[in-house]
Amino acid sequence: MSSEPTAGQPAQPLSGAFLQGKVALVTGSSRGIGRAIALALARAGADIAVHGRRGSDAANPGGQETAAAVEALGRRAQVFHGDIAVKADVEALLEAVGQAFGRLDVLVLNAARAPFKSTERLLERDARQLIDTNLLGNLWCVQRAVPWLAKQGGDIVYISSLGSRFMNPDYPLGVMKAAMEALVRQWAEELAPKKIRSNAVCAGLVKTDAFKTMRLVWPGIENLPEDLVVSPEEVADVVLFLTSPGARAIRGQTLVVDRGLSSRLIRPVLPREGASEA
């Protein structure tokens, strides 16, 4: 980013409005992790382009709720709609964001959409949704964002999950997450001459709306100790760090934020103290 110190110089602490005067687009920011990220970036001074898939505020009131929360922090916010699986929608989205704010400094690729079923049960429409939204959609976003990001340097942060490295038979989205982590490394090298950094955050189990569905395909998940469940705000904190000058030497990396859950997969996870063993 244009404000980052040169190699060897100390970075400013991760506090205050280090994103003051900058603009961030967070895809899928009408709720959950995306909303938490939008608010974290706003607290650091960024104006926020809020994004939702559905085509109107009436159909997707969460976008306006996120925007109102951003504005309550004293930052500008505007809601944009579009299905990232549709290339024309992405082109219109980035054009609209550029016209509204005049710049783009941070692109957070958070939007995701996929069925919970095994790959052998995927219908053609399932497979196309899986690839078009979670791989091609992110690719289209980056392609259209690069000209804006390159004007002053910027950051791309992708939101991944543990499905990228641990197989769940009913979580085909993990395959797309793994592919995207590879693209993050690719972009880190390709876009470095344009002063664009690219990194990812691999989130563990996060209690969002998707967690309710996860319980249907992962029996016993609700028995995990609370200290192994990540909050949306904890994911957002790491995204914020990756956009800061303190992360200037981190490029093409995926930071795991799971409270150590993946480290415990080689041994039993003990139930919470006092919980029944039914």
Q: Has residue 163 been placed in a domain? A: yes
Predicted confidence at residue 86, as pLDDT, reads 96
Assign 3-class secondary structure to the chain: CCCCCCCCCCCCCCCCCCCCCCEEEECCCCCHHHHHHHHHHHHCCCEEEEEECCCCCCCCHHHHHHHHHHHHCCCCEEEEECCCCCHHHHHHHHHHHHHHHCCCCEEEECCCCCCCCCHHHCCHHHHHHHHHHHHHHHHHHHHHHHHHHCCCCEEEEEEEEHHHCCCCCCCCHHHHHHHHHHHHHHHHHHCHHHCEEEEEEEECCECCHHHHHHHHHCCCHHHCCHHHCECHHHHHHHHHHHCCHHHCCCCCCEEEECCCHHHHCCCCCCCCCCCCCC
In a domain, 268, yes or no: no
What CATH number is attached to the domain comprising 68? 3.40.50.720
pLDDT tens digits, residue range 240-269?
A: 999 999 999 999 999 999 998 888 755 555
- Terminal C-alpha separation, the chain: 53
The answer on pLDDT for 277 being more than 50 is: no
Report, as an integer, the average pLDDT of 20-37. 97
Q: Report how many domains make up the chain.
A: 1
Residue 114 clears pLDDT 90, i.e. is over it: no
For residue 129, is it within any domain? Answer: yes
Domain for residue 18, yes or no? no
Residue 228 lies in a domain: yes
- Residues serving a catalytic function are 171, 177
Average pLDDT score over residue span 94-100: 98
pLDDT of residue 12: 41
The model's pTM is 0.87
* Range(s) of the domain holding residue 154: 23-259
List all residues 6 or more positions away from 236 whose beta carbon is below 8 Å from its beta carbon. 33, 36, 37, 39, 40
Over the stretch 174-209, which tens digit does the pLDDT of each residue have? 899 999 999 999 999 999 999 999 999 999 888 777
Q: Does position 274 have pLDDT exceeding 60, yes or no?
A: no
> For residue 278, what pLDDT is reported?
42
Residue 16 lies in a domain: no
Cα–Cα distance measured from residue 182 to residue 163, given in angstroms and rounded to the nearest whole number: 14
